[in-house]
Amino acid sequence: MGAPTIVHNATNYTLNTSNYTLNANVIVYNQWASNGGFGLGEIAVEGNELVFRTRVPDGSEAPARAVWRRVDADTFKVVRQHRSAQAEGWTDDVSVTYRRVKPTAS
């Protein structure tokens, strides 16, 4: 399996897939942050969303995640979410919408 790389301008992180379980709809991945941090996580397919979960050292789910949602054929929205001890469910922190555009002639 190839190793896709995602480079985000603000954080410069790399996504390196290491295992995909077809029946569970989960991709296990390793991530490295520009500050030297390293983590393991999984990408789960939930309906029409890709949910990026990071694991903390004890193996439990971290209280933050990213959810990728397709808006249309050329657009998707990424939402960073957190879960606090006081609130049920996930709360949106910030979102970024990515849109594919046609290249301009130079």
Flag whether pLDDT at 1 surpasses 60: no
| Collapsed DSSP state (helix, strand, coil) of residue 58 | coil
Predicted confidence at residue 92, as pLDDT, reads 93
| pLDDT tens sequence across 42-75 | 888 888 889 998 877 787 888 999 999 999 989 9
Read off the pLDDT band of 19 (50, 70, 90): low
Alpha carbon distance 54, 96 (integer Å): 19
What's the rounded mean pLDDT across residues 77-101? Answer: 90
Q: Model-level pTM?
A: 0.68
What's the pLDDT score for residue 31?
Answer: 76
Q: Which residue has the tokens 């390293």?
A: 38
The CA-atom distances, in angstroms, between 26 and each of 20, 42, 46, 70, 103 are: 6, 6, 10, 18, 33
Select from 65, 56, 59 the least CA-distant residue to 38.
Answer: 56
